[in-house]
Structure 1
Amino acid sequence: MFSHRSTVDSARPPVPAANPRRWYILSVLVVSLLVVVLDNTVLNVALKTIADPRAGLGATQSELEWSINSYTLVFAGLLFTFGVIGDRFGRKRVLIAGMVMFGIASLLSAYAQDPAQLIWARAAMGLGGAAIMPQTLSIITNVFEPNERAKAIGIWTGAVGLGVAIGPMTGGLLLDSFWWGSVFLINVPVVVLGVIGMFLLVPESRNPLPGRLDPLGVLLSIVGLVTLSYGIIEGGEKASWLEPAVLGPIAAGLLALALFVWHEARIDHPAFDVRLFRDPRMSAAVGAVGLVFFAASGVFFFTTFYMQSVRGLTPLQAGAMVLPFAAAQLVFSPLSAAMVRRFGAKAVCTAGMLLVVVALVCYQFIDRTTPLWVLGVIFLIQGSGMANVMPPVTESIMSALPREKAGAGSAINNTARQVAVALGVAILGSVVSSVYRNEMSAPLGRLPEDARHTAGESIGGTMAVAERMGAAGQDLIAPAQAAFVHAMHTAAVGSAVVAFIGALVVLRWMPGRATGDPGTEPARSRKREAAGV
């Protein structure tokens, strides 16, 4: 018995002491996270401009969805691989390489000449983002002790709120003064500052016993997610889900994902270790992340068009409308650790998910004349709910794994979020597109076929056609706005149902209040030792 314990202790890498510069390091990691979040929030405000054939690229609804999903699918597909690469070759090294890649791809996106170039450049940005994100949480886990980690993760999560606050406002200011590509150039100075800080402050760390790479698993995950999303987006564009061009890709995507899960469960070096989900705490936390971001991502996609195309707000005004959501994130995310210590992760996360449900249900009361402060209150409620979901579930995921596998934990957390964002935009965006197209079939029936197809793509397409028609096109504006509001209501109902399912998952499987010290990792470590793990 004694010799077995000695063998286990000698195999486990020593736990490093807390880094004396850990809070400065955290600030640098927040900058690297900020560049990823900033890009997506800036893009949301710019979607309408990119869709404009004169001021932008004339992108269709499906091309706009792919400009988001090309990033998120590559990001999600490679997160786990880059987590393993960082554990093997050094997290600092991979983090800096990812930042450089992200900066170069931002330049390519800014100067894209057509929607296809933008989609490919965004995919390259996803490659850089996938290298950045896992390393940030891995480094936090290595430089902070368990009793401070929850607070650090709360601040890290609060950076999402900061990105939400800065992104739309910055994007609006840029679009008021410059061309649409300037929203991507804003990433470049942030990348430069982040890389300098990383060279000066962030320590190198790696897993002394890293796993091997899994190219087949990575390939299956990307093929599955891209094919599934393609089928979903095609269904929305065609307003029909029973055509072979829609059902074929969806079936192929689901098959590839099923093969991915089968493959990952049977190898000893998986790209995404599905066996970790045998722990119900891990499964509940990842489920909560995925469901809340699925619900939220589609909502932000269609509210951008509601604010600009239905309510006539400028990009800057639309960006300012998101400030209540951002403020709630900034205020409540750092406080969530104290809430969890007092009430337990289950109570805090369930309450947060229910707040998100309330916010999504409230979209049913939004129409073409609703006072804008009502939308601001909805954003505030939604931000408050998400701020009390993300830090506890992130800490739960990271604490469920030993410190040397921090890269895997970070990748699981971020993969769940990015897959949820991709599918949320694809599915809810397709719902909006389908409902809108059906509602507009009669008003657009008198237009020529080519104009009818363009106008039926999205509300942006309808507005562009109406503008070209002059006075004769004014009759299209009111029906288009009414049709879009109806489509938004339909998608919001779906989002609310998904978020409510997330609340039930948390209520059933998320652990309750800790019985000991808030830093629970020592107790879990002792259990792992007793089990000989």
Structure 2
Amino acid sequence: MKTTESRPDPAGAAATSPDRLGVRGIWLLCVTCGGLSVVAAAITALNLTLPEVGPALGASTTQMTWLVDAYTVTLAALLLPCGAVGDRYGRRGLLVVGLAVFALASLPAVWATDPTVVIASRALSGLGAAMIMPATLSLLTSELPASKRPLAVALWAGVAGAGGIGGFFVSGALLEWFTWRSIFVTFAVVSAVLMIASCTISTSRDSEPRRFDLFGAVLSTAAVFLFVIGLLETPTRGWDDPFVIVALIAGVVLAVAFTVTELRSDSPLLDVRLFTNRAFSAGACTVLVQFFASFGLFFVVLQRMQLDFGMSPLMAATAMLPLIVVIMVLSPIGSWLAVRYSLRTILFLGVALTGVALILMGTLDYTTYLGLLPWLILASVGQGFATAPPTTAIMANTPAANQGVGSAVNDTFREVGAAIGIALAGSIVASGYTHNIGPVADQVRSATGSAELGDRISRSLAEALHTIGALGDRYPQQAGALSEIVTQAKHAFIEPLNASCVTMGAIMLVGAVGLWFLSPHALTPKSDAPTGDQAE
């Protein structure tokens, strides 16, 4: 039976006694959550900067998309192989190398004048993030006392859930006083500091590492890469685009091939039999639907705040801060309730509350942030309850020697869920707006004789508002007519935005029912043997 070999740092062990967290344990928690926060913030930080980055670099529409997606795709595709590397060769070493790669990868964007350089920088940052993310969680679950792991996982999951919102806030704050390049400077400096700090924490690895499953690593990377690419291209290309269809089908086929290969392998990258454990499967499915809702929610709410409510990027990011507070407070509470009472009930409650909030967000009428806030709070309550328990369920039912792989499974389902949420919400909003704005754009074309003007209005609400604002400055006498076009454009946008909320909410409610039947009552099997030993 394989075990995990721990290597304490020279100053001492992570905990001063088997049941106490200790100074070293607290330090380990701070360093790992710090590394995680950088990875999570980098996923969303660039979204607010695109209106400034695009013109500054002369980026095309496709290049602007890849400025965001290059990081996400690389991160999602490489999580599983990187988690396995950490299990075999040392989790602290993987974290240190990942932070070094992340810091160095952020530097080219500071001086770049070519969008291709920034895209490559983001892709390399994704590689660093794929090393950091599984290492942070596996270090906590392998190094901290067993009695403290649920709390540590709850805090880790809270940071993972709230980190995306933090990324919006940090980038919005930096843009108020500096240029968009300051975001990359911040990432480089923070990552370098955390890299140095990571050298002081304890480490662990599989004491009897088996042969690395290179073929499985290639299959899993290709499967996730193609599937996520297909999802992220959906909002701009549409679900019926040949590229999207081929990418999604190829991703699924490779995932099936990966499963078959792993079942036959003597040294699998991922023991897919772990999914026969109901708590493990329920945890993975909950992470998937939770981040499906989170990133779908971010997509629609931030646009609503900026394009409809007229908030600046910083104001919109600040308006999301209450969600961070609620998620961070409820994350450990949800974990405690799942461990103490019922995993099934907590997972159902968290997912169902999020679904109800999304449906109310899409059906009720509100025209200000205060009208939206109660439903944001309700969604964050659901997210808070559903944040820590699924991660705890995954890690508690993963063998001790494979904590890095278990963490990578958690993170991969997280990234895939986020991609699905963005793809679904983005495609509903894009197609709905294009359909609704068509008659208005036609009227503008006929009234002005400018086909280009009509095309700009029909591309997106953001471009429509920018174009109409420029016309208003040039032709103030047409203010009334232009104001009516703005009203029609916003209506054309809000209708599909609400439809996307209702659709996502309905999916979450269906997911909640499915989780009720899939999830076991207890977090771990009743024999209560150590999880790693039990699963082997």
Same fold (TM over 0.5): yes
Following the alignment from structure 1 to structure 2, what is the Cα–Cα distance between the partners of residues 478 and 90? 58
C-alpha distance in 1 between matches for 2:497 and 2:110: 30
Contact 1:298 1:428 (8 Å CA) reproduced = yes
Shift of 1:439: 1.3
Give the structure 1 partner of residue 490 of structure 2: 481
Find the counterpart in structure 2 of residue 22 from structure 1: 25
Residues 115-137 of structure 1 show CA distances to partners (whole Å, capped at 9, x for unaligned) of: 54443322222111100011111
Amino acid at match of 2:431: S
1:237 corresponds in structure 2 to 236
Give the partner amino acid of 1:157.
Answer: A
Alpha-carbon deviation of 1:69? 3.0
Determine the structure 2 residue equivalent to 1:505.
514
Secondary structure of 2:441's counterpart equals coil
334, 353, 356: which one aligns with 2:354: 356
Asked if the contact 1:101/1:125 (under 8 Å) is kept, the reply is yes
Pairwise CA distance, 1:290: 0.5
**Which residue of structure 2 aligns with residue 254 of structure 1?**
252
Q: SS where residue 45 of structure 2 aligns? A: helix
**How far does the alpha carbon of each residue in 1:442-500 deviate from its partner, in whole angstroms, 9 at most, with x for none?**
21224344444444332222223323433465554222211221121121122112212
Shift of 1:160: 3.2
Q: After superposition, what is the alpha-carbon deviation per residue over 1:89-118, rounded to whole angstroms, capped at 9, x for unaligned?
A: 211111011111112222334555455444
Q: What's 2:105 paired with?
A: 105
The answer on whether the counterparts of 2:76 and 2:225 sit within 8 Å (CA) in structure 1 is no
How far did 1:304 drift? Answer: 1.8
Residues 368-404 of structure 1: CA distance to partner in whole angstroms, max 9, x if unpaired?
x523123222222222211211211111111112212
Point out where structure 2 has 5 or more consecutive residues left out of the alignment: 8-12, 17-23
Cα deviation for residue 296 of structure 1 reads 1.8
Amino acid at match of 2:98: G
Matched to 1:26, the amino acid is L
Contact 2:326–2:381 (CA under 8 A) maintained in structure 1: yes
Name the counterpart of 1:3.
none
> Which residue of 2 is the match for residue 133 of structure 1?
133
Aligned twin of 1:287 = 285
Provide, for residues 43-76 of structure 1, a one-character-per-residue CA deviation record: whole Å limited to 9, x for no partner.
Answer: 344345446x47x86664x655544432222112
CA RMSD of superposed structures (Å) = 2.9
Note the C-alpha offset of 1:331: 1.1
Closer, same or farther in 2 for the Cα pair 1:235/1:133, shift >3 Å? closer
Choose from 372, 393, 397 the match for 1:396: 393
8 Å CA contact retained: 2:234, 2:427 = yes
Q: Look up the equivalent residue of 2:388 and give its one-letter code.
A: P
Counterpart position of 2:376 = 379
| Aligned-partner SS, 2:529 | helix
The answer for the alignment partner of 2:206 in structure 1 is 207
Which residue identity does 2:460 align to in structure 1?
S
Instruction: For 1:41 and 1:230, locate their aligned partners in 2 and report how far apart those are by CA, in whole Å.
Output: 17
* Structure 2: distance between partners of 1:430 and 1:114: 29
The one-letter amino acid of 1:508's match is F
Aligned to 2:182: 182
Deviation at 1:140, TM superposition (A): 0.6
Deviations along 1:421-441, one digit per CA (max 9) or x if unpaired, are 122222321222111111112
Distance 1:36 1:527 in 2: 27
Relative to 1, partners in 2 of residues 1:266 and 1:486: Cα closer, same or farther, differing over 3 Å? farther
- Cα pair 1:284 1:505 within 8 Å, conserved: no
Take 1:126 and 1:118, find their aligned partners in 2: how far apart are those partners?
Answer: 12
User: 1:300 maps to which residue?
Assistant: 298
CA gap of 1:493–1:457, structure 2 versus 1, over 3 A, is same
Task: Check 1:295–1:48 CA distance in 2 against 1; reply closer, same or farther (3 A cut).
Answer: farther
Native 8 Å contact 1:161 1:325 kept in 2: no
Using the TM superposition, give the Cα deviation of residue 321 of structure 1 relative to its aligned residue in structure 2, in angstroms.
0.9
User: In 2, distance between residues paired with 1:243 and 1:170?
Assistant: 36
1:457 to 453, 456, 459: 459
Task: Describe the superposition over 1:208-259 as per-residue Cα deviations: whole angstroms up to 9, x where unpaired.
Answer: 12243344434444444444444455553355x4454543444344333333
- Residues 459, 180 of structure 1: CA spacing in aligned structure 2 closer, same or farther, 3 A cutoff? farther
Q: 1:465 to 1:225 in 2, by over 3 A?
A: farther
The Cα of 1:363 is off from its aligned counterpart by 1.6
* Preserved contact between residue 6 and residue 143 of structure 2 (Cα < 8 Å): no
- Aligned 8 A contact 2:158 2:387 in 1: no
Name whichever of 312-321 and 494-503 sits farther off: 494-503
User: In the alignment, is residue 43 of structure 1 matched against residue 40 of structure 2?
Assistant: no
Give, in whole Å, the separation in 2 of the partners of 1:218 and 1:440.
46
Which structure 2 residues correspond to residues 295-444 of structure 1 after superposition, within 5 A? 295-365=293-363, 370-444=367-441
SS of 1:334's equivalent in the other structure is: helix
Distance change >3 Å, CA 238–CA 28, structure 1 → 2: closer
Against the structure 1 CA distance between its residues 437 and 119, is the aligned structure 2 distance closer, same or farther, given a 3 Å change threshold? farther
Mapped pair 1:124 → 2:114: no
Task: Work out whether residues 396 and 531 of structure 2, in 8 Å CA contact, stay in contact via their aligned partners in 1.
Answer: no
Cα–Cα, structure 1 residues 366 and 222, in superposed 2: closer, same or farther, change >3 Å?
farther
Taking structure 1 as reference, are residues 238 and 31 closer, same or farther at Cα in structure 2, changes over 3 Å only? closer
Q: Say if 1:84 and 1:443 are closer, same or farther in 2 by CA, change over 3 A.
A: same
Query: Secondary structure of 2:205's partner?
Result: coil
Secondary structure in 2 matching 1:97: helix
The answer (yes or no) to whether the contact 1:65–1:429 under 8 Å persists in 2 is no
Q: Across the two proteins, how many residue pairs are aligned to each other? A: 512
CA contact (8 A) 1:76 1:419 kept: yes
Change (3 A) 1:18 1:114: closer
- Following TM superposition, by how much is the alpha carbon of 1:271 offset from its aligned partner in structure 2, in angstroms? 3.6
Output aligned runs, 1:513-528, within 5 Å.
513=522, 523-525=528-530, 528=533
Structure 2 distance, partners of 1:347, 1:186, is 41
Say if 1:134 and 1:407, in contact at 8 Å, map to a contact too. Answer: yes
CA distance in 2, matches of 1:526, 1:401: 6
Is 1:217 aligned to 2:216, yes or no? yes
Give the distance between the partners of 2:325 and 2:375, measured in 1 at CA.
13
Quick one: distance in 2 between partners of 1:58 and 1:305?
21
Q: In structure 2, what is the Cα distance between the partners aligned to 1:48 and 1:389?
A: 34
